[in-house]
Amino acid sequence: MFKQISEIREYIKGVLEIHLGGKINIVNETLYRNEKLDRLVRNAVFNEKSDLKDISRWIIRQSGCALGIIPASIQGLYERMGKGEYTGFTVPAINIRGLTYDVARAIIKAAKKNDVGAFIFEIAKSEIGYTEQRPSEYAAVVHAAAIREWYKGPLFIQGDHFQVNAKKYAKDPDKEYNTVRDLIKEALEADFYNIDIDTSTLVDLSKPDIVEQQRLNFELAAKLTSYIRENQPNGIMVSVGGEIGEVGGKNSTEEELRVYMDNYLKAIKDKKGISKISIQTGTTHGGVPLPDGSVAKVKLDFNTLERLSKVAREEYGLSGAVQHGASTLPGDAFDKFPQTGTAEVHLATEFQNMIYENGQFPKDLR
């Protein structure tokens, strides 16, 4: 690990040049990508000195931009999907909970091999907590993976399930709102230009009508969207996602989608709204464990996905519906997402399982 700033300067000498104003020039691209980068990544994650950790992260992100890796919003693509100009594919959004550098490298390598243009790296609010990956760390490591794999182009990084906790909100609404708001600010500063707001936890099915059931959901989603619009970088329209059905709950309906969207759009007035909407179709994050340790087969309602994606696109200009908790599905089910017009599918658990089930995973950590 680096002990002081002068060590970092000496380490990158002849490879990177840092100029006044923060501009970085790449002096020896091959040496930087193939040999020097890995040590910067280790320091960006593990250095105990916060200033050296922050400098390592900054160098990685800025050098990535110099190499043509551009933090981006997927808003433009989703708007064109909403107009029917692009069809026949679903964008994968992948949560990486461990070995982030290695997993991100593998994903980028596979994307390049298969000529995939749109794919998202994401991390949920809960994952930021229990994996101890703050947005600045996650963004730096994903940038580094792109550099290491000689990737050039847009880099989509997303805050997934930036969620309001219902119990905490009931006790202290302002405090819980501010917690999510502050996380959004932190994420925006770390190049997260795609944010999924999840206030679906506040849906109250005990209320007599759908408007009242969804009220807190659409009101807080609109408030947080407005905050994003007021704080997004100049020239960037952050892609924002909303959610009408908490994952693991009852399946969503067209009426719920329309109630949410009509009232949400009224609340945000003239501001740009969400680009996609997450719904519930029968999945649970991580799957449903059975007594024998296996995971129950998911009964996903593709008909609901198709119907609600169509409403989202044709009536509101959204890219379509988003499917969460899909990585526990059988492999032969994934072609159904493009067929049903699903805009985005979120994948996490199976990537985690690949790590845990690998023969090289230390037994004493199982």
Superfamily of domain 70-365: Aldolase class I (3.20.20.70)
Q: Is 17 a residue whose pLDDT tops 90?
A: yes
Q: What is the dihedral of CA 240, 246, 252, 257, to 10 degrees?
A: -30
Q: Are 174 and 217 in contact (CB under 8 A)?
A: no
Residue 265 CB contacts under 8 Å (≥ 6 apart), including other chains: 273, 316
* Domain segments of the chain as ranges: 5-67, 70-365
Pairing mode, strands 344-347 and 239-243:
unpaired
**How far apart are alpha carbons 281 and 142 in whole angstroms?**
30
Q: What is the rounded distance in angstroms from the CA atom of residue 268 to the CA atom of residue 260? A: 12
Per DSSP, 4 falls in state S
Name the band, by pLDDT with cuts 50, 70 and 90, for residue 20.
confident
The residue whose two tokens read 């009509």 is: 262
pLDDT band at 284, cuts 50/70/90? low
Are β-strands 239-243 and 194-198 bridged in parallel, bridged antiparallel, or unpaired? parallel
Q: How far is CA 253 from the centre of its chain?
A: 25
> What's the whole-number mean pLDDT along residues 343-361?
90
Q: What is the pLDDT of residue 255?
A: 95
279 three-state secondary structure:
strand
Q: Is the pLDDT of residue 192 over 90?
A: yes
Mean pLDDT, residues 176-180 = 98
Q: What band does 151 get if pLDDT is binned at 50, 70 and 90?
A: very high
Q: Cα(31)–Cα(334) distance, rounded to whole angstroms?
A: 39
Q: In a 3-state reduction of DSSP, which class is residue 56?
A: helix
Cβ neighbours of residue 303 closer than 8 Å, sequence gap 6 or more: none
Alpha-carbon separation of residue 120 from 1, 139, 317 (angstroms)? 30, 12, 21
132 contacts 95 by C-beta, under 8 angstroms: no
Whether pLDDT at 248 is above 70: no
- Token duo for residue 237: 């329209």
Q: Over the stretch 33-64, which tens digit does the pLDDT of each residue have?
A: 999 999 999 999 999 999 999 999 999 999 99
pTM to 2 decimal places: 0.93
Question: Residue for token digits 């009508």?
Answer: 209
> Residue 363: which pLDDT band, with cuts at 50, 70 and 90?
confident
